[in-house]
Amino acid sequence: MKKRFLIYIITVFLILNLKSAYSEIFIKAKVNNQIITNFDVKNEKNYLLALNPNLRNLPAKNINRYAIDSIINEKIKKIEIERKYEILINDNIVKKIIRDLYSEIGISNIQDFEKYLSSYNINLEIVEKKIAVEVAWNDYIIQKFNNSILVDEMKIKEKINQLKKGNFVENMSLSEIIFTLSENENFENKLIKIKESINKIGFDETAKIYSISESKKDGGKIGWVFKSQLSNKIYEQIKKISIGEYTDPITVPGGFILLKLNDKKNQLLEINEEEQFKKAVNFEKNRQLTMYSTLHYKRIYNKAVINEF
């Protein structure tokens, strides 16, 4: 009799605890009927805070909003990719990206990185899966739009020929935030949020939150760019700012871009025409791929059925 009573007590205890656990899980959003729970949001916040510690300087509601937007972004990309392809983890690429991630936050090896992640209640597998989605998205965009990329190689060669060896040319270190608007977003409100974030956590960390460009993983860094590589429209805006400042929003296909001038110098040009040509062609291809990625994401985002609760 005592044994039966003990089994009964244990069973009731387990049921009550199970109900309690499930009662804590609730749906925060749906993307095309794929659910996002409060646990998903919590895990996403931990992931984002682990890789971007400066986010702690933002109000809790902003971090929560960022986490929800981040999951929605990933879901939309994942759904689109998996309509045609299976997302696989490319070990070499993922490992390199992970090395870059932990190096950026001052960690020297993968073992210490795993310990660091565990302090945020996340594991390396979660990070690998998230990176795999971004890698698959980039591959998907390249496959989808590669034939649409048009590079005027003659025009590039003409520009290179106009540069004379031994001349000083203007060279600028730039970072970018490329952002777009959903159907229910207001431009001014979005810009205010971005500027507030820049003031609190800096341009680089804000790029990781709001930018939809591939450069976001590097804090929006584009690197050193010669004046000749920029369009007149872009250069005219950069001329107006000083080092450490950023431009007003510039309209680009599919959205808007903010450019920060990190540094500039007049560099004595040592021309390797073949090398300069390759760099210029790659720069133009990447610019167009970013444009197509932005436009395509905006298109599928606007078609997606997104409900928040």
Residues 95 and 178 occupy one common structural domain: no
pLDDT value for 247: 96
Residue 309 reports pLDDT greater than 70: yes
pLDDT confidence bin for 20, thresholds 50/70/90: very low
Residue 148, Cβ neighbours under 10 Å: how many? Answer: 9
Same domain? For 267 and 225 the reply is yes
pLDDT value of position 7: 55
Same domain, 264 and 241: yes
Residue 243 has pLDDT above 90, yes or no: yes
Same domain, yes or no: 138 and 160:
no
Residue 3 lies in a domain: no
- Of 118, 147, 176, which marks where a domain is finished? 147
Q: Are residues 178 and 123 located together in one domain of the fold?
A: no
Tell me the C-alpha distance between 240 and 95, whole Å: 40
pLDDT of 270: 66
Residue 16 lies in a domain: no
Q: What is the pLDDT of residue 10?
A: 54
Looking at 93, 128, 147, the residue that finishes a domain is: 147
Instruction: Check whether residue 126 and residue 221 sit in a common domain.
Output: no
Evaluate whether residue 11 is within a structural domain: no
Euclidean distance between CA atoms 195 and 252, whole angstroms: 19
Sign of CA dihedral 222, 228, 229, 235: positive
Beta-carbon-side half-sphere exposure of residue 169 (alpha carbons within 13 Å): 18
Domain-located, residue 133: yes
CATH number at residue 210: 3.10.50.40
Structural domain ending residue among the three candidates 131, 147, 163: 147
Instruction: Please check the confidence at residue 252 and state whether its pLDDT lies above 90.
Output: no
pLDDT-derived band at 300 (thresholds 50, 70, 90) equals very high
Confidence check: pLDDT of 259 > 80 = yes
- Structural domain contains residue 308: no
pLDDT tens for residues 155-210? 888 877 776 555 677 889 999 999 888 777 889 999 999 999 999 999 999 998 88
Phi then psi for residue 213, to 5 deg, are -85, 155
- Asked if the structure places residue 10 within a domain, the reply is no
The yes-or-no verdict on residue 290 having pLDDT over 60 is yes
- 163 in a domain, yes or no? yes
pLDDT tens for 43-74 read 999 999 998 888 888 888 888 988 998 999 99
Tens digit of each residue's pLDDT (9 = 90 or more) over 78-135: 999 999 888 888 788 899 989 988 998 899 999 999 999 999 999 999 999 999 999 9
The total number of structural domains in the chain stands at: 2
Whole-number Å distance between alpha carbons of 193 and 66: 11
Tell me the pLDDT band of 286, cut-offs 50, 70 and 90.
confident
138 & 200 share domain: no
Q: How many whole angstroms separate alpha carbon 279 and alpha carbon 228?
A: 12
The burial class, CB within 10 Å (0-12 / 13-18 / 19+), for 38 is middle
- Residue 159 sits in the same domain as residue 293: yes
Same domain, 164 and 139: no
Residue 131: CB atoms within 10 A of its CB come to 20
Same domain (yes/no): 103, 164: no
Query: In terms of domains, do 54 and 74 share one?
Result: yes
Q: Is residue 4 situated within a structural domain?
A: no
8 A C-beta contact, residue 97 and residue 131: yes
Tens-place pLDDT, residues 133-168: 999 999 999 999 989 998 888 888 887 777 655 567
Q: Which tokens go with 254?
A: 């599919």
Residues 228 and 88 in one domain: no
Maximum pairwise Cα distance, the chain? 99
Q: Which domain holds residue 206?
A: 152-303
Name the pairing type of β-strands 306-308 and 27-31.
antiparallel
* Mean pLDDT over each residue of the chain, to the nearest integer: 85
- pLDDT for residue 22 is more than 60: no
CB 127 within 8 A of CB 47: yes
The strand pair at 221-226 and 250-252 is best described as: unpaired
Q: What is the mean pLDDT of residues 264-286?
A: 79
Q: What is the number of alpha carbons within 13 Å of residue 31 lying toward its C-beta?
A: 18
Question: What is the percent of the chain where pLDDT is above 70?
Answer: 89
Side chain identity at residue 157, one-letter code? K
